[in-house]
């Protein structure tokens, strides 16, 4: 038997010819492929959560301001001021906010009225980030956010005595 020439034999622990030097590249490509969608999801969910908190706050505070107002004119003015302050505070797009005030139960002659329960529903839309306005994609990539608050109107409402 002939002796083996160790200088020409590949080492037993050496990688095969096609597997050398690609670990760093695979790590970078794999990291980008996994990291970019996760970061986008975190940003999008953060935007939706911020809008949700703003809409919830708007519904609660508008309902309280209407229920504690002294009359219809005062209720409208207070609701408009509260809504404008919340839109500015939470950086909500003013054109995307819709407010609906309705009375719960039997339909009174006017709504809101003394002793009634009012329901304030505030809706808005969040456009997802990085969606271009080409072909209306930005309008299709919107998430609707809605909050409802119910408040009992004082039985002295409209009589000049807030209570």
Question: What is the reported pLDDT for 59?
Answer: 97
Report the distance separating Cα 113 and Cα 117, nearest Å.
8
Q: Which long-range CB contacts under 8 A does 99-104 form with residues at least 24 apart?
A: 99/58, 99/62, 101/62, 101/66, 104/150
Question: What is the reported pLDDT for 163?
Answer: 42
Token pair listed for 131: 């969606």
Q: Per-residue confidence at 55, pLDDT binned at 50, 70, 90?
A: very high
Q: Per-residue confidence at 43, pLDDT binned at 50, 70, 90?
A: very high
Give the closest residue to 123 by CA, choosing from 153, 92, 102. 92
Question: What is the reported pLDDT for 114?
Answer: 82
Question: What is the reported pLDDT for 110?
Answer: 76
The CA–CA distances, whole Å, from 81 to 12, 16, 36, 76, 87 equal 78, 72, 40, 9, 10
Question: What is the reported pLDDT for 159?
Answer: 64
List, in sequence order, every residue forming a beta bridge with 147; answer none if it has no partner.
Answer: 122
Question: What is the reported pLDDT for 57?
Answer: 97
Reduced DSSP (H G I as helix, E B as strand, rest coil) percent helix, strand, coil of the chain, to 5: 45, 20, 35
The CA–CA distances, whole Å, from 52 to 57, 73, 78 equal 9, 29, 22
- What are the pLDDT digits (tens) for 61-110? 999 999 988 888 888 999 999 999 999 999 999 888 999 998 887 665 67
3-state secondary structure of 61: helix
Question: What is the reported pLDDT for 18?
Answer: 59
Question: What is the reported pLDDT for 125?
Answer: 93
- What are the pLDDT digits (tens) for 106-147? 665 677 888 889 999 999 999 899 888 888 888 888 999 999
- pLDDT of residue 53 exceeding 70, the answer is yes
Residue 124 parent element (H or E): strand 117-127
């Amino acid at each position: 038997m002939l002796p083996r020439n160790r200088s020409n034999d590949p080492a037993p622990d050496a990688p095969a010819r096609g597997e050398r030097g690609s670990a760093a590249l695979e790590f970078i490509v794999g990291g980008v492929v996994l990291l970019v969608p996760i970061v986008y999801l975190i940003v999008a969910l953060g935007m939706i959560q911020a809008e949700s908190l703003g809409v919830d706050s708007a519904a609660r505070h508008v309902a309280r301001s209407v229920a504690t107002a002294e009359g219809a004119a005062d209720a409208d003015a207070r609701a408009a001021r509260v809504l404008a302050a919340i839109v500015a505070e939470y950086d909500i797009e003013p054109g995307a906010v819709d407010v609906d005030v309705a009375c719960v139960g039997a339909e009174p002659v006017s709504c809101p009225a003394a002793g009634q329960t009012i329901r304030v529903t505030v809706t808005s839309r969040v456009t997802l980030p990085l969606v271009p306005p080409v072909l209306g994609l930005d309008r299709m990539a919107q998430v609707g956010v809605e909050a409802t608050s119910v408040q009992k109107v004082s039985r002295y409402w409209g009589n000049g005595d807030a209570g």
